[in-house]
Copies of this chain bind each other. A is one copy, B any other.
Amino acid sequence: MARDARRRILDTAARLFYGEGVHTVGIDRIIAEAGVAKATFYHHFKSKDALVCAYLTAHFDGQRAEFATLPGTGRAKLEAVFARIAEVCASPGFRGCAFLNAAAEFADPAHPARGVVAEYRAWFRSLMRRLLAEEGHPDPEAGSRLLLLLRDATAVSGALDPPDQARETTEAALDRLLTA
Q: Which residues of A contact B (CB under 8 A)?
A: 19-21, 23-24, 95-96, 100-101, 103-107, 117-118, 121, 142, 145-146, 148-150, 152-154, 156-157, 159-161, 165, 168-170, 172-173, 176-177, 180
Contact = CB atoms under 8 A, between A and B. Distances in A.
A19 to B, nearest CB: 7
Secondary structure class of chain A's binding surface, majority of residues: helix
Contact of A21 (B105, B118, B149, B176): B105
Number of copies: 2
Given A148-B157, A150-B153, A20 B173 contact: no
Given A104-B96, A105-B105, A149 B142 contact: no
22 contacts: A20-B107, A21-B104, A21-B106, A21-B107, A23-B24, A95-B107, A96-B103, A96-B104, A100-B104, A100-B156, A104-B105, A117-B160, A118-B160, A121-B161, A146-B173, A146-B176, A149-B169, A149-B170, A150-B153, A153-B153, A176-B177, A176-B180
